[in-house]
Structures are given as structure tokens and as C-alpha cells.
């Protein structure tokens, strides 16, 4: 059962998986980590991304990653709209905690049911030249359906990290999470900054959705397993730290892969949730955290 | 204390409900059972969510654990239904206590996420536990019911009793010292703590009661459907309904979830039969978002506002009348 071969392959598969998880968690890391908005509908939007990519792929034979990129502006606008509703209905009136949570729970449910109404509950998958092929490096197998999402996820994570730390608006997003009043005194409009950040958060969901459907078939309620996973990653990483999010994603990817290889696939879903519960109990501020 | 009218009315309702089982068509008991199940879940959710302000997304987890407690007991010793109900209350009460003890000292958001996580961990455990049937599920042979005209009628009457008991308990909590403490936590936890309200203890009490009540609702589920598998026991619609019903009815008092559950539950049963079950889910989602955004106090709040408006209008008219005279 146990061999170096198996172990190294499980490790590499875990790293590839973890890199992809970073892409899924990235949007939430901005929205939940920086803006403190508990968008539990984020995975549902990722699934929505998968389905629009599926639609483009089957109708026009478009490459999934390209299709995902193509939809980022639309998802950005969707994010701005969702945030404006959230702001007008909940944030402005100070009802974020209970009503805001219920709002996103309802949004998640609506997105999921809408997909079911249009596409049904069957599994859907995309087609691309590289899916199904594997790169062999020594004893390590690198399937392209994992490698491509990994590389795309890394590029996206790097891009967002660069944007947040080096550009003016990116730094304004960090500022709004740190001190809203100070930002306002500097003449910036926090609501606009937050709309922008929420939009970017959702735009990443379009690409994450594309990567998700490259990795494997997707069905409408697929997002639920990801809720705990992405929150585990964001909280373990330390709210809002992109570096922490990436590290936590890799950590959870590797743990899941190990559990899957050495204990059994049906236990893998519980890994992230156990990590989440343990983090909340033992180190709620996460790896790189401010509380 | 306005104890007087509630319990006689509840008793009357129960007698009427039990008597109706000899007169009404079988289908209504199946539908009625599901509505009442939703009512218990909504009432339980509201004890923590509405009274205390902490959101539980894992209602389906508590519900399913109640169901699985029944399955375990049934597989082991096949006890009377009542024993299963009590056992489920204990198991899920402890589960609520444990979850609350671990996370209620953190921000409320973390509790909400933890409950979501808890439901999935429990589902994974049940999928992997062969004793309760694993992923394929387990059958239960229905117990005998000599007295009632049909098995579904028996289930309905049992659920009616449990629902009345749950609402009574929620009503008691609402008006009691505990309820006032919980309301203080909801309005301003720090201020409550400073004023000497034992916040953690009260939160744990309400989480435990919530868990136990959800367990009770779930305990009957295996007996009702006679077949339990993880996917249906941990169904998300259970969790969504548990939130949507109080939100639609109004979360501030014990009345809200009752109104919400009766209304939304009946609408759901109607659409499921007459339109489609997917559309039915969409309606629940849209109603939840709509009410949360536009009518935060729910139907109870709207009714109060309407009442106040009527009164103001009448006073104004009387005032005008007097001025004219």
C-alpha cells in the first residue's frame, strides 16, 4: 500500500489541487477577508462560472480558460450589482450579521436552483485538446487537466497579489478594510472601493469556475462542498492575506490528496471542515492573521 | 404572564387534529406532517437565530443526526418511537452544546460557518458508517398502530404533539428571564455582558435547546419515510426552510416562525403537487431574499406596521372630525 511512488504522486497531486483551491478561495479572500462580507454564495458563483464556460465550450468550442476570462467583465458587473443590493439593504442599515447572512444564503440557493432549472442535475463537462493527456516526469504523473488549472490559478493569484500591493486602487481596497474613516478623510469613496473589490472577487469566480470544470465534471450542487473548503482556506490563511490564502490552499490540497490516497476518497470532503473547526478552536486568527 | 389562553387553545388544537384523522383524506396527513416538521425546525432555529442573533446554517445536520439516532436505536434494539425521540433530543442537544461551546466565544460569523462545516462532517461520517447503511441507506419497518386509522395519521398526531410542545417551549423562553437575556445578547452583546448577563451560558442554553428540538423533528423522519440515506437526510432544503420560515414570519417573537412555517410550508406542498419541485425551491429562495431585504421584521412586523398605520389614520380622522365640529 505505501510506497515512495505513491507518496510523491499524492504530494504533487495535492499541490496541484491546492493551487486550484487558491483560485476558488481568492475571491472570498478579498470579499470576506478584506471587506468582511460573508459571501457564502461565492462557491455558487464559481459553479455559475463553470456553467457559462460549459455553454461557450459546447456552443463555440472555445477553450475553457479563455471562456472564463471572457466572462470576467460580466461577473465583475454582477458583483457590483450584488454588492450594491447588499449595501443598500443591509450594510447601510447595520443589519449585516443576521439578515446579511440569510441574504447570501438565499442568493446561493437561487443561483443553484436557477442552474438546475436551466441545465438539470446532470454532470456537465468541457472539451479541450489537453484534457485527458498526462505529462510524465520521472515517477511523477502530471495530468494536464490538473496542471493547466494549477498554472492558471497561480497566474491569477500572482496578478491579484500584485494588484493589491502595487496599484493605487488595489491599495485602496486594503485601506478600506483597515480604516474606513481614514480612507474617507483622504477623499476616497469607500462604497465605490468596496463595489470594485466585490466585483473583482466575483470576477475571479468566473475563472475559478472554468478551472473547476477543466478538472472534472460539474453538477449544480457541487458548490456546497466548496463552501467549507474555501472558508477553511480563507480563515486558516488569516483573513485577507493573499500569501496566507495560497499557503492554506496548498496545505488543504495536500492533506486532502493524502487522505484520498491512503485512507479513502469518501473521507476527503471532511478534511477541510475538520481543518476549519480546528482552526476556529485553536487559532482563529489563522496563519498570517489579524483577528 | 399571558399563560392562560395559550395552553387551552393548544390542547383544543391537538384534540381537533387527532379527531380529524378519522375524517380527512390520507394525503393531508402526509402534507400536514411535512408542514409541522418545518414548523418545529423553524421554531428551533428561531430560538438561537431570532432570539439570540446567531445564524445556524447546519440545521440539516442536527435534523439528520436526530434521524440517524433513530436508525441506530432501531438497528440495535428497536425501541418504542418515544424512546427514539428522547434519545435524539439528548444526542442533538449535546451536539448543539458542543458546537456552541467550541465557537460561540468567537464572532457570530464563525459560528455560522462552523455549523455549515459541522453538517458536512457529519454527512461524511454517516456515508462512511456501515452500521447505519452508509451511502446506500437503511430501512425501518414501521411499528404497529392499532388505535389510529392509518400509519400516516399516527405520525401526524405524534408530530402535532411535538410541534405544540416545541412552540410552547419557545413561547416560554420568549417571555422568561432567559428570553430577555437572549434579546439583550441579540441587541448588543457587549452591553449585555457589561450589565451582568451571563452571555455564554445563555447562548449555550439556547444552542442546546435548538439542537435538541431539531433532533426531535429528525427522530421521526426515518419512521415517516421508512428509508434513510445521507443525501436526503442532510438535504439543504431542510436548512433553507429552517431559515426562510422564521425570516418570512418574523424572528423577534415565537409567533413569527409559526406563521412563516404554516404559510411557506403550505405553499411548498401546494407547488410541489401542482407545479414542480424545482420551481418550489426557487420560490423559497426568492421569498427568503425578498423578505430579508424588504421586510426585515417579517409578516409579524408588517402586521404591526399596518396596525399602527390604521390606528394613526383613525386618530387623525377623529382629530379632523373634532376640529370640524
Is residue A67 a part of any domain in this protein?
yes
Taking contacts as CB-CB distances below 8 angstroms, the residues of chain B near A98 are 49, 53, 55, 251
Judged by average pLDDT, the poorest of A98-102, B25-29, B34-38, B124-128 is B25-29
**A274: in domain:** no
Question: Is residue A244 included in any domain, yes or no?
Answer: no
Which residues have CB under 8 Å from A271's CB, separation 6+? A252, A255, A256, A259
Mutate to test the interface with B, among A105, A224, A264 (most CBs of B within 10 A): A105
pLDDT in tens, A22-75: 999 999 999 988 888 889 899 999 999 999 999 999 999 889 999 999 999 999
Q: How large is the ipTM? A: 0.82
When the candidates are 1.20.5, 1.10.3470, 1.25.40, 1.20.950, the CATH number that belongs to B3-294 is: 1.10.3470
User: Which residues from A are below 8 Å from B279, CB to CB?
Assistant: 117
Task: Give burial (CB, 10 Å; 0-12/13-18/19+) of A157.
Answer: buried
Looking at residue A2, its pLDDT comes to 65
CB-closest option in B117, B282, B288 to A228: B117
Does the CB of A291 have a partner CB in chain B at under 8 Å? Answer: no
Q: Which position has the higher pLDDT, A184 or A143?
A: A143
Residue A105 near chain B (CB below 8 Å): yes
Give residue-wise pLDDT tens across range B56-114: 888 999 999 999 999 999 888 888 888 999 999 999 999 999 888 887 877 778 888 88
- Is residue A184 situated within a structural domain? yes
Task: Please indicate whether, in this complex, the C-beta atoms of A98 and B49 are within 8 angstroms of each other.
Answer: yes
Domain interval for residue A210:
26-222
Phi, psi of A179 (to 5 degrees): -155, 100
Q: Would you say B116 and A279 are in contact if contact means Cβ atoms under 8 Å apart?
A: no
Percent of chain A with pLDDT over 90: 40
Q: Which residue would you say has higher pLDDT here, B197 or A78? A: A78
Residue A280 lies in a domain: no
Distance from CA of B189 to the nearest CA of A (A): 13
Q: Note the residue count of chain B.
A: 325
**Grid cell locating B283:** 420560490
Q: For residue A109, tell me if it sits in a domain.
A: yes
pLDDT of residue A291: 47
Q: Which residue of B has its CA nearest to A99?
A: B292
> How many other C-beta atoms lie within 10 A of the C-beta of residue B311?
10
Q: Are B217 and B40 in contact (CB under 8 A)?
A: yes
Residue B24 has pLDDT above 80, yes or no: no
Domain count, chain A: 1
pLDDT, position A290: 56
Rounded to two decimals, what is the model's pTM?
Answer: 0.87
Amino acid at each position: 500500500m505505501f510506497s515512495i511512488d505513491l507518496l510523491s504522486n499524492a504530494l504533487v497531486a495535492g499541490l496541484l489541487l491546492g493551487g486550484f483551491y487558491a483560485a476558488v478561495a481568492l475571491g472570498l479572500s478579498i470579499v470576506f477577508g478584506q471587506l468582511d462580507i460573508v459571501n457564502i454564495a461565492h462557491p455558487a458563483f464559481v459553479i455559475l462560472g463553470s456553467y457559462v464556460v460549459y455553454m461557450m465550450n459546447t456552443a463555440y468550442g472555445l477553450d475553457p480558460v479563455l471562456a472564463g476570462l471572457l466572462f470576467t467583465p460580466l461577473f465583475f458587473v454582477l458583483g457590483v450589482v450584488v454588492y450594491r443590493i447588499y449595501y443598500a439593504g443591509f450594510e447601510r442599515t447595520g443589519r449585516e450579521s443576521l439578515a446579511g447572512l440569510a441574504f447570501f444564503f438565499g442568493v446561493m440557493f437561487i443561483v443553484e436552483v436557477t442552474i438546475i432549472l436551466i441545465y438539470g442535475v446532470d454532470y456537465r463537462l468541457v472539451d479541450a485538446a489537453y484534457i485527458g493527456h498526462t505529462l510524465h516526469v520521472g515517477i511523477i504523473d502530471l495530468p494536464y487537466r490538473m496542471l493547466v488549472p494549477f498554472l492558471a490559478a497561480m497566474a491569477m493569484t500572482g496578478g491579484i497579489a500584485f494588484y493589491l500591493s502595487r496599484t493605487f486602487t488595489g491599495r485602496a481596497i486594503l485601506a478600506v478594510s483597515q480604516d474606513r474613516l481614514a480612507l474617507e478623510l483622504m477623499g476616497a469613496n469607500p462604497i465605490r472601493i468596496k463595489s470594485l473589490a466585490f466585483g473583482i472577487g466575483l470576477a475571479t469566480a468566473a475563472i475559478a469556475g472554468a478551472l473547476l470544470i477543466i478538472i472534472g465534471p460539474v453538477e449544480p450542487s457541487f458548490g456546497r462542498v466548496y463552501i467549507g473548503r474555501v472558508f477553511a482556506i480563507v480563515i486558516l490563511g488569516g483573513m485577507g492575506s493573499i500569501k496566507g490564502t495560497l499557503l492554506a490552499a496548498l496545505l488543504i490540497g495536500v492533506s486532502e490528496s493524502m487522505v484520498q490516497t491512503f485512507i479513502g476518497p469518501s473521507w476527503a470532503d471532511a478534511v477541510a471542515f475538520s481543518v476549519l473547526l480546528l482552526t476556529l478552536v485553536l487559532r482563529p486568527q489563522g496563519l498570517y492573521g489579524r483577528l | 404572564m399571558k399563560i392562560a389562553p395559550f395552553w387551552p387553545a393548544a390542547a383544543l388544537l391537538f384534540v381537533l387534529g387527532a379527531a380529524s384523522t378519522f375524517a380527512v383524506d390520507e394525503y393531508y396527513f402526509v402534507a400536514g406532517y411535512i408542514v409541522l416538521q418545518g414548523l418545529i425546525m423553524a421554531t428551533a432555529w428561531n430560538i438561537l437565530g431570532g432570539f439570540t442573533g446567531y445564524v445556524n446554517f447546519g440545521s440539516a445536520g442536527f435534523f439528520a443526526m436526530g434521524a440517524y439516532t433513530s436508525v441506530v436505536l432501531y438497528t440495535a434494539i428497536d425501541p418504542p418511537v418515544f424512546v427514539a425521540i428522547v434519545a435524539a433530543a439528548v444526542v442533538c442537544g449535546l451536539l448543539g452544546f458542543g458546537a456552541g461551546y467550541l465557537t460561540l466565544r468567537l464572532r457570530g460569523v464563525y459560528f455560522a460557518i462552523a455549523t455549515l462545516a459541522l453538517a458536512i462532517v457529519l454527512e461524511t461520517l454517516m456515508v462512511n458508517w456501515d452500521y447505519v447503511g452508509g451511502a446506500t441507506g437503511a430501512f425501518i419497518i414501521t411499528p404497529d398502530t392499532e388505535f389510529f386509522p392509518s400509519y400516516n395519521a399516527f405520525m401526524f398526531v405524534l408530530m402535532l404533539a411535538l410541534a405544540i410542545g416545541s412552540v410552547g417551549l419557545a413561547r416560554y423562553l420568549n417571555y422568561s428571564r432567559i428570553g430577555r437575556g437572549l434579546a439583550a445578547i441579540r441587541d448588543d452583546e457587549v452591553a449585555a455582558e457589561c450589565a451582568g448577563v451571563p452571555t455564554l451560558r445563555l447562548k449555550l442554553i439556547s444552542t442546546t435547546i435548538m439542537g435538541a428540538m431539531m433532533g426531535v423533528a429528525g427522530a421521526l423522519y426515518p419512521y415517516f419515510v421508512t428509508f434513510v440515506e445521507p443525501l436526503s437526510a442532510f438535504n439543504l432544503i431542510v436548512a433553507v426552510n429552517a431559515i426562510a420560515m422564521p425570516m418570512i414570519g418574523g424572528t423577534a417573537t415565537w409567533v413569527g416562525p409559526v406563521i412563516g412555517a404554516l404559510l411557506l410550508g403550505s405553499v411548498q406542498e401546494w407547488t410541489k403537487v401542482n407545479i414542480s419541485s424545482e420551481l418550489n425551491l426557487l420560490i423559497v429562495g426568492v421569498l427568503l431574499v425578498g423578505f430579508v431585504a424588504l421586510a426585515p421584521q417579517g409578516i409579524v412586523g408588517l402586521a404591526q406596521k399596518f396596525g399602527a398605520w390604521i390606528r394613526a389614520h383613525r386618530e387623525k380622522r377623529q382629530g379632523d372630525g373634532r376640529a370640524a365640529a
